[in-house]
Chains A and B, each alone.
Chain A
Amino acid sequence: MAEQGKAINRRALGRALSRIADASVEEALAGLVEPPARSARRIGITGPPGAGKSTLISGLARRRLDRGRSLGIVAIDPTSPFSHGAILGDRIRMEEIGDDPRLFIRSLASRGAHDGLADNIPDILLTMDAHGFDEVVLETVGVGQAEYGVRLLVDTVVLVLIPESGDQIQAMKAGVLETADIYVVNKADLPGARKIAAELRGVLKIRRRLGATWEPPVILASAQDGEGVGALDEAVERHLEWLASTREPSELRRARARYHLQSLFARRIAEILESVPEILDGSSLAAGYRAALDHLGRRAETGNGRRETSF
């Protein structure tokens, strides 16, 4: 039921996203959005805290809108493990584009998700698809393994690094980091950016796979002054075109289904451990494991969404 070309029904979409974000696993399964025939192209922007991701997205979004596309932005910030509250501050950096009628920005707290993403994020993205956006940008805080989930959820992964990101590049050299499709070294106005970019290019050369037809570009940017944003916009466009010509859609579908199922399982287990604390008091870990499996086999008696969960 895509609504291509029509004005965004902001109130309906805003509410639908809350419903899905708050859904328990049972509720999420009951309300599952079927992938629409035409899904939005998804661009993931990830990188360490404060790297300039939101500032960069603001500039990138301006250019995507100027290409005549409608755009959704989903920006995730971490939930405080102490209060379960969160400050969702990404949209402050996006004010310059905030008035465009073809743009919709939603801020999400990571809540129970431990991979830089948010509860029910696969369903949230499907809901954005169903509302007919041409493109969706997903902002996540990611370092290291956290990028794995993003990789499966989006089409193009942009990793934003800064002059202080030397350690991360060492980790890439050691092969423990998933690679991105596009690299941005932001804050190029600060010392050290060129050096980091050169190291990064070196590592990418070493890690380049034989016969690979996509060569990840390294872009120096200063998001604050808009520098490098045009190059990023063009790189994203080239990557999306490249994907369209090379990708096997069934492979992608399977990978996304796998992540979706895994995240539902992880949350269901968290729900069980929260609602049946006796499992943790058992004689042995093995017994607790079997008891949890037993509960997993049953259907949840109540659809206890997060607002009702006891803690």
Chain B
Amino acid sequence: MSDTANKTLLRGKRILIAKPGLDGHDIGAKIIALALRDAGAEVIYTGLRKTPRYIARVAVDEDVDAVGLSMLSGSHRELVAETIEELRAADAADIPVFVGGTIPAEDHAYLRQLGVAGIFTSEMRLDDVVAELARALG
């Protein structure tokens, strides 16, 4: 994928990048945020260690087109389930949730069954993440 083609893929989309859980590394989240920005998205970033309730509130106030959860810790199963539940409680079940980071393959089916719209593992190229996200958001 050429650089210029990527530049407009996400134009006009508002995307929240959030980091639930207790791990203290957000370099991956920041790299993704910049890649989305370079593809034309307006990216809201929440910072480290946010609760699912807080993430849902920000998603609603900012009326984002997608929530991206960046996860490294082992508790992604619970955190993703809770975030989706909080979004539903906030009348925002229609906001798609994507998950990125170190997600073991055996958990993918479970996450999809929770309603996760896409899973981006840390081995994926940024260009491919952007392209797949753009396709999913239409």
Contacts and interface: CB of A to CB of B under 8 A. Distances in A.
A112 interface: no
A10 B56 CA distance: 11
Given A10-B57, A84-B11, A89-B45, A15 B63 contact: yes
A11 B37 contact: no
A85 B36 contact: yes
B93 to A, nearest CB: 11
A83 B36 CA distance: 10
Contacts of A83: 7-8, 37-40
B42 A14 contact: no
A222 B43 CA distance: 28
A79 B37 CA distance: 9
B44 interface: yes
A14 B57 CA distance: 10
A91 B42 CA distance: 14
Contact of B63 (A14, A85, A88): A14
Contact of B91 (A11, A22, A92): A11
Contacts of A15: 63
Interface string A275-311: 0000000000000000000000000000000110001
A11 B60 contact: yes
Given A10-B90, A98-B54, A85 B10 contact: yes
A92 B61 contact: no
Interface residues of A, number: 31
Contacts of A307: 12
B42 A17 contact: no
A47 B50 CA distance: 29
A18 interface: yes
Contacts of A306: 12
B54 A92 contact: no
The 10 closest A-B pairs by CB, nearest first: A14-B63, A85-B37, A18-B63, A307-B12, A11-B91, A85-B40, A109-B42, A86-B42, A92-B47, A88-B44
Given A85-B38, A86-B42, 15 more contacts: A14-B63, A18-B14, A83-B39, A85-B11, A86-B43, A87-B43, A88-B42, A95-B47, A99-B54, A99-B57, A104-B61, A106-B61, A106-B62, A107-B44, A311-B8
26 contacts: A10-B60, A10-B90, A11-B90, A11-B91, A14-B61, A15-B63, A80-B37, A80-B38, A83-B38, A83-B40, A85-B10, A85-B41, A85-B42, A85-B43, A86-B42, A86-B43, A87-B43, A88-B44, A88-B45, A89-B45, A92-B46, A92-B47, A98-B57, A107-B42, A107-B44, A109-B42
